[in-house]
Structure 1
Amino acid sequence: MKSYQKLTADVPQITESGEDDGKPLCHQKLSAWWLGGGLLTVAALLSGVTVWVLGQIWWGQHGTPPLTKCVSIPESLRFDCFPERSTVVTRELCEARGCCFVDGDWPSGSARGVPWCFYPPDFPSYTLGSLNETELGVRGFLTRKAKTYYPRDVVKLQLSVEFETDARLHVKITDATKPRYEVPLDVPPATKRAENPLYTIEFSKEPFGLIVKRKSSGTVLLNTTVAPLFFADQFLQISTVLPSTFIYGLGEHRSNFLHSLEWNTLTFWARDVPPTESFNLYGVHPFYLAMERDGASHGVFLMNSNAMEVVLQPAPALTWRPVGGILDFYIFLGPDPNLVLQQYQQVIGFPAMPPFWGLGFHLCRWGYGTSNETWEIVKAMRNFQIPQAAQWNDIDYMDGYRDFTIDSQKFGTLPQLVEDLHKHGQHYVMILDPGISSTQPPGSYWPYDEGLKRGIFINSTQGKPLIGKVWPGFTAFPDFSNLNTHQWWLENLDRFHSLVPFDGLWIDMNEPSNFVDGSTAGCSQEELDKPPYVPAVLGNSLSAKTICASSRQNASVHYNLHNLYGLMEAKATASALVKIRGKRPFVISRSSFPSQGRYSGHWLGDNRSEWKDMVCSIPGVLSFSLFGIPLVGADICGFSGSTSEELCTRWMQLGAFYPFARNHNTQDVKAQDPSAFSPAARTAMKTALEVRYALLPYLYSLFHRAHLQGDTVARPLFFEFPKDVATYSIDRQFLWGRGLLLTPVLEPGVNSVIGYFPRGLWYDYYTGSSVNSSGENLKIAAPLDHINVHVREGTILPTQKLGGSTSVGSGNALHLIAALSQNANAWGDLYWDDGESLDTFAKGDYSYLVFNVTQNTFTSTVLHSNAGATYVTVDALSVYGVREEPKTVTVNGKERPFTYLTNQVTDRQLGCAASGC
């Protein structure tokens, strides 16, 4: 018997069809085995949004023997019915759950990663009841009749689908009878229903599922009918097929930028661990971007902060498996990958505009024994005239590793060091850990005494401050979900700033990290600490090297808030810096969550001084670009272990192009600041940094676009070339914005590198020599003192004459580089302000210039100007790709001297450079 659900009083048409109706490939594959017996559809046009309700889906033929039903399911579409790793799966255990079992004696079951226990086509799930229109979409209820094997099934669910914008769909599934925890992100609410959506949505009635398609191509973006929906108190699961194998995001994990779909499980639970494959790392970002077969792109964000797994399998398909909260999905239709990220950041918030000095080169190490030793490194950098924007200190400066204290014996001259940095236009950043020492005599340590008095610490289940162990020893943990904690944090920072006028803060260990599991007293034996299902977290416990999941915080239990800890601390820290300094805050955080970019940047954690770690830094940087945190980089030359001169030279060249560039290493290993190496290596490092400093006006303008509309700074190649499938897996090269291609050397003992050059004309940044690529891999020279940088045709780069400061007002004149396209055009822009004031764009306190080349004429147009524009002077213009030697060059109607160079090697014109512009 077929059934359907009527959506409105006037249904335009009812059609019956058992055919696949030209479905995309991934949908056609499914049709053969899950659309048996015909299908009744009802179409209703709801304010321009097409919604389909599918009739009952018969998973295979009625009465088919169970064995036949099971083996008919392709391996790639087997969804794991027994994901627990602590139990050996047997036929008896599997079939007790009502699932199919294929053991290792079967060839199909012996393949690595293919589930032996998987759902049959007719596994019980939810049934969709009536759907009703709402102001923004539709709402309905889901009911479950049969119990599942996880405790406390939620029998009745509420489904809400909101057509928020033409390119954004919001799907929310939650308990229909009582409230559940929801992530407290400040998401701007939609105000009206989409008028011309890029999507259609179909609903399966029984078992429940939904299918989201791109209207223009019919591509199926989501199809949750392929596996049953679970919604128990501490186990939620929903699966979907994917339109392709090109999936990115889903962090924080150490992997290739393009995820493997070969039975790959990614775990989300913030954890202090050196970046290692297959481990859950410092941050949590349940967002993915997918490239479709025709070059279009879409993204999916699950707004859930609980521990979870994402399972990728070769169907291609994906399974979300959180252990709490709700299923709260946003789907972004792009269709361009850049637009997908803009749409995502419209939900989570655009990143903050960093101070200009934050984009310079930063230097740090754990192991500066004294403030004078730190000072000597600063002086050595100045002596060799190596650019340095900021000096940092790790926990060495503290008295007994206690926050907000200074070791007066070893770091007594720290205030004088900071004063000296400021006199030289440099800045100072210091570390803070969240753990507050709890063992000092009463009245001797204000941060703990006052925190205890105000009740701002995270409590155990007994209602007392939970005590763990971090650097000072026994510690309590501030509860940043409590606004009173923010005030206490501000007061501590303000008192400390009066002693050491720091410019930025580095917040570390904020997963939160704990050197004991849970607490010094252990954790409870209740289900928050020992849930019925534990995702594949490192340590096999939610309390492993962090605090108890049952800990009590102001907003909820730690079980729900753990992954938000770094975000909440960053928010409190950025707010405090604004109040203390009255300028843009500079904060770098280890742990992160969606919307983190509004408050901080991120570094990729405690990497190693190994070539492999340098390679892995590029996909890490690109992934955080997807997460809306453009201010990101890795510890240049590696944190742990001793680097080699060759590795550090190559890494300094690459690190000069991290959006956030910091050289940092640990104690008791060789120094790796540039001044520690031979003259040749030191010169190569200095040269790379000087290229970065020359490009700071371009980089700063990219950050403005990121802040204003969510553009990426470090950018994957496929963002600019989405039709070129060859770019989809590239993560050994990257772009700055649309116009600059970086091709670093990532292996030892070589003097050349192979890089992919998408179709078009590319110019060597240094010489202007060009290559016209058809979309090919090219071998290019890369001696030890050189990193390859190429300018994309049609780009105008604003660069600056070098000076030792990262102050906007330093008076450094601009040198514009115009790389002509094959039809002799080019475009670029420059955003400029004072580099540190708050809300300069909103207040109009900035200058914005647009540059154009067309018909042999270069024009500069000031679209917005204020007093800051007096700092913008153009001293030189270089034009790459001039095909014939010009007879004259005029600037503002007056002839100017110029030089014309020709590439003697390839006989290609390199360009024209005019001075006095």
Structure 2
Amino acid sequence: MSRSVSSDVILQPAPALTWRTIGGILDFYVFLGPDPASVIQQYVEVIGYPAMPIYWALGYHLCRWGYNSSDSTWETVKSMRNYGIPQDVQWNDIDYMEHFLDFTFDSAKFATLPDLVKDLHAHDQRYVMILDPGISSSQPEGSYWPFDEGLRRDIFIKDAEGKTLIGTVWPGLTAYPDFSNDVTHEWWYDNLKRFHDKVPFDGVWIDMNEPSNFLDGSTEGCPSNSLENPPYTPGILGGLLRAKTVCATAQQKLSIHYNVHSLYGLMEAKASASALKRIVAKKPFVISRSTFPSQGMYSGHWLGDNRSQWKDLYTSIAGILTFNLLGIPLVGADICGFSEEPQEELCVRWTQLGAFYPFTRNHNTINMRDPTAFSPLARTAMKQALLLRYSLFPLLYTLFHHAHVHGHTVARPIMFEFPKDIKTYGIDKQFLWGKSLLVTPVLDPGMDYVEGYFPEGLWYDYYTGEAVRSKGEELRLDAPLDKINLHLREGSVTPTQAPNLTLWVSSGQPLHLVSALSDDGSASGDLFWDDGESIDTYENNQYAYIVFNVSQNVMTSEVLRTHEEATYITVETAAFYGVKQKPSRVLVNSQDATFTYRANQVLTVADLGLNLSQNFTISWM
């Protein structure tokens, strides 16, 4: 069912939903599944498959509202490097702007911003800054190009009388670009390009795009009619359609605002992604607050301003999983919480969970602390969690490929893989990456253990290879402060890499393959690999795709498609969890190889030096 107009959706105690809407056209789509994953695939086929993210989007991002200067931002970056904490992207909130004006930077406090960005690039890091849609309308004529040029091209939303609608956002009085107009997209591109020539940013963060307004409607109010005051108003902020946004009667190129309000962030994301493709000629990186079906084609999402509380840590899981169901897999919550001072223990646990958000960003408010400000013990635990994420980049990148091509989820509810196990239906404290990596985070203070549900079958401790055989039960797991529990599902092959401080470096490291064998000794997995940043590599056949299979004591690697990027990567080690007897020989491409075998049934073959782009076999007897 798709509609932009306002509505209530009420979940009843019975298995039923009630829609209450103020009108509009009702389009019903029924997706028959038969299983949950198929329903989502069918839904995404209708709304559009999510974009494949640029590789560094999957690294660690750091942001704060209140760095106050480019030098203090820079100091944070240097501090992260000094402590050896991985970081791919540094962000700035609205502080960097001159009087909060879009497409400007404060020439006093942020004078060194271009140099900071140059330094980030020299260290294989990236820069992202915020943009709000509200364009200041109160600057002296001729002094602020974005507004002057916007007026000249007639791209702003108008009020019911046809005059430019004026609201209030951070810079004061503002006009709102009408992103339903193609001319606005070109104007947006021109502004981004002009700013990029001064500060060569790598991605954009679009906020306040509901669209937000510190007033209700406009400086002139709104007309009194049935659009502004419908017979039924859903339970929305302020009880008014115009509360903290623009008038329902405002005019846009496509229609009146009443009809397209909820599309505003989507249309801005489309304009932003399109502009970035032209400016940087790479996969665009856009994160948006407002979203609508199809958003995943253009941007990712963060879950908005949360609080530094344990409850917010817990509820973030449901938020991440929900957006994966909605075809927006690049999603995360503000790690450690946005507002309030986070306790050290909370921040450590949140960094561990956040390392398994598809989009991983620590973002906090004025005067709060970043990871370098905590104790050595906490810093080390956070660093370990982020290095763990970086080591799993080959798996995560491949999962995003399957989201892009097949409409799969990246972070996945356990019930998707075990739809016949009703005990999985209500689980919101654990989740899967893909079909086989189970994440069981600590979500409560003062705990050195965690209880997690394991669906029936064989699971392996990710770190040790220790087997866990479950009948479909809750199990108690040790969870000291420096550990997040991960388990591999039987029958899976997981590609990992030696991590480094940026994904550019770690993505060039040798691969380590972890095979979690079923009782019959079988496992399978795959790897998607490209240059990480070119647009449409899958569509243009500019990628490598390798399938791994294990059966009857033989692992085979089958290169279904090769690409030059894969020729630089080697497979250095392979571990097999669940090898029931110690082998007498291990052969790699029919040649004897050295190996180790531990009492917990883990076979490891090291120093392989195999080229990823060539088929290979590893066998044991």
TM-score normalised to the size of structure 2? Answer: 0.97
C-alpha distance in 1, partners of 2:416/2:517? 21
Which residue of 1 is the match for residue 566 of structure 2? 869
Question: Which of 346, 349, 370 is the equivalent residue of 2:45?
Answer: 346
Counterparts of residues 230-379 of structure 1 (less than 5 Å): 302-379=1-78
Is 1:894 matched with 2:591?
yes
Matches within 5 A, 1:417-436: 417-436=116-135
2:608 is aligned to 916
Instruction: Kindly state the Cα deviation for residue 341 of structure 1 after the two structures are TM-superposed.
Output: 0.8
Q: CA deviation digits over 1:874-898, x for unaligned, max 9?
A: 0110111111011111111111111
Cα deviation, 1:250-273, whole Å, max 9, x if unaligned, reads xxxxxxxxxxxxxxxxxxxxxxxx
Q: Secondary structure at the match of 1:915?
A: coil
Asked whether the equivalents of residues 808 and 833 of structure 1 are also in contact (C-alpha less than 8 Å), the reply is no
1-structure distance, mates of 2:378, 2:507:
28
Letter in 2 for 1:683: T
Mapping 1:356-505, distance limit 5 Å: 356-505=55-204
- Cα 1:707–1:810 shift into 2, 3 Å: closer
CA contact (8 A) 2:391 2:506 kept: no
Name the amino acid aligned to 2:573.
Answer: A
Give the C-alpha shift of residue 481 in structure 1: 0.4
Alpha-carbon shift at residue 454 of structure 1 (Å): 1.1
Q: Which runs of 5+ in 2 are unaligned?
A: 610-621
| Mapped partners of 2:498, 2:351: distance in 1 | 21
- Is contact 1:480–1:569 with CA below 8 Å preserved after alignment? yes
Instruction: Provide, for residues 156-204 of structure 1, a one-character-per-residue CA deviation record: whole Å limited to 9, x for no partner.
Output: xxxxxxxxxxxxxxxxxxxxxxxxxxxxxxxxxxxxxxxxxxxxxxxxx
> What pairs with 1:426-825 in structure 2 (closer than 5 Å)?
426-668=125-367, 670-671=368-369, 673-807=370-504, 811-825=508-522
Match of 2:612 in 1: none
Identity between Structure 1 and Structure 2 (%)? 64
Give the drift of 1:709. Answer: 1.0
1:190-221 superposed Cα distances (whole Å, 9 cap, x missing partner): xxxxxxxxxxxxxxxxxxxxxxxxxxxxxxxx
- Contact 2:150 2:156 (C-alpha < 8 Å) held by counterparts: yes
The amino acid across from 2:373 in the alignment is: A
In structure 1, C-alpha distance between the alignment counterparts of 2:14 and 2:325, rounded to whole Å: 24
AA partner of residue 803 (structure 1)? N
Alpha-carbon separation, structure 2, partners of 1:490 and 1:528: 33
Give the Cα separation in 2 of the matches to 1:439 and 1:565. Answer: 23
8 Å CA contact 2:595–2:603 kept in 1: the answer is no
Q: CA deviation at 1:809?
A: 8.6
Secondary structure (helix, strand or coil) at the match of 1:615 reads helix
Q: What CA deviation, in whole Å up to 9, does each residue of 1:379-422 have, x standing for no partner?
A: 11111111101000001100000000010100010111101111
Between 1:494-503 and 1:865-874, the stretch displaced more is 865-874
Deviation at 1:830, TM superposition (A): 0.2
Q: Is the 8 A contact 1:882 1:912 kept in 2?
A: no
> Which amino acid in 2 is paired with 1:666?
T
Q: CA deviation at 1:807?
A: 2.0
Deviation at 1:802, TM superposition (A): 1.8
Alignment deviations for residues 854-908 of structure 1 (CA, whole Å, 9 cap, x no partner): 00001111000121221221011011111101111111111111111124xxxxx
Q: How much does 1:805 deviate?
A: 2.4
Whichever residue aligns with residue 912 of structure 1, its letter is: T
Amino acid at match of 2:293: P
Q: Closer, same or farther in 2 for the Cα pair 1:911/1:756, shift >3 Å?
A: farther
Give the conservation status (yes or no) of the 8 Å contact 2:282–2:535.
Answer: yes
Instruction: Determine helix, strand or coil for the equivalent of 1:381.
Output: helix
Q: Give 1:177-196 correspondences, 5 Å limit.
A: none
CA positional deviation for 1:810 = 5.3
Q: Helix, strand or coil: the match of 1:518?
A: coil
Aligned residue identity for 1:915? D
Per-residue deviation, residues 568-597 of structure 1 (Å, max 9, x unmatched): 000000000001111000000000000000
Which stretches in structure 1 are left out of the alignment for 5+ residues? 1-301, 904-908
TM-superposition CA deviations, 1:220-251 (whole Å, max 9, x none): xxxxxxxxxxxxxxxxxxxxxxxxxxxxxxxx
Which structure has more helix as a fraction of its residues? 2
Q: Distance in 2 between matches of 1:804 and 1:377?
A: 15
> How big is the alpha-carbon RMSD for the aligned residues of Structure 1 and Structure 2?
1.0
Other structure's SS at 2:534 match? coil
CA distance in 1, matches of 2:603, 2:214: 60
Three-state SS of the structure 1 residue aligned to 2:316 is helix
Equivalent pair of 1:808/1:835 in contact (CA under 8 Å): no
Give the secondary-structure state (helix, strand or coil) at the position aligned to 1:332. Answer: coil
Separation in structure 2 between the aligned mates of residue 911 and residue 517 of structure 1, nearest angstrom: 65
For residues 437 and 896 of structure 1, the distance between their equivalents in structure 2, rounded to whole angstroms, comes to: 68
Asked if structure 2 preserves the Cα contact closer than 8 Å seen for 1:796 and 1:816, the reply is yes
Whole-Å Cα distance in 2 between the matches of residues 872 and 324 of structure 1?
56
Once residues 497 and 595 of structure 1 are traced to their aligned partners in structure 2, the CA distance between those partners, rounded to angstroms, is: 27
- How far residue 778 of structure 1 moved from its aligned partner, in angstroms, is 0.5
Tell me how far apart the structure 2 counterparts of residues 810 and 820 of structure 1 sit (CA, whole Å). Answer: 26
Quick check: 2:497–2:507 contact (8 Å CA) kept in 1? Answer: no
Contact 1:356–1:808 under 8 Å retained in 2: no
Kindly state the Cα deviation for residue 462 of structure 1 after the two structures are TM-superposed: 1.4
Q: C-alpha separation between the residues in 1 aligned to 2:439 and 2:265? A: 31
Write the distance in 1 (CA, Å) between the matches of 2:457 and 2:444: 27
CA distance in 1, matches of 2:15, 2:327: 26
Could you tell me which residue of structure 2 aligns to residue 194 of structure 1?
Answer: none
Number of matched pairs: 609
Equivalent residues of 1:768, 1:911 under 8 A apart: no
Residue 619 of structure 2: aligned partner = none
SS in 1 for 2:128: strand
Deviation at 1:446, TM superposition (A): 0.3
**2:342 & 2:144 partners in 1: Cα distance?**
39
Q: C-alpha distance in 1, partners of 2:187/2:374? A: 44
* Change beyond 3 A, Cα 1:330–1:808: farther
> Residue 318 of structure 2: SS of its match in structure 1?
helix
TM score, norm. by length of structure 1? 0.66
CA contact (8 A) 1:889 1:914 kept: no
* 460-469 vs 715-724, greater mean Cα deviation: 460-469
What is the DSSP-based 3-state SS (H/G/I as helix, E as strand, rest coil) of the residue aligned with 2:121?
helix
**Alpha-carbon deviation of 1:324?**
2.5
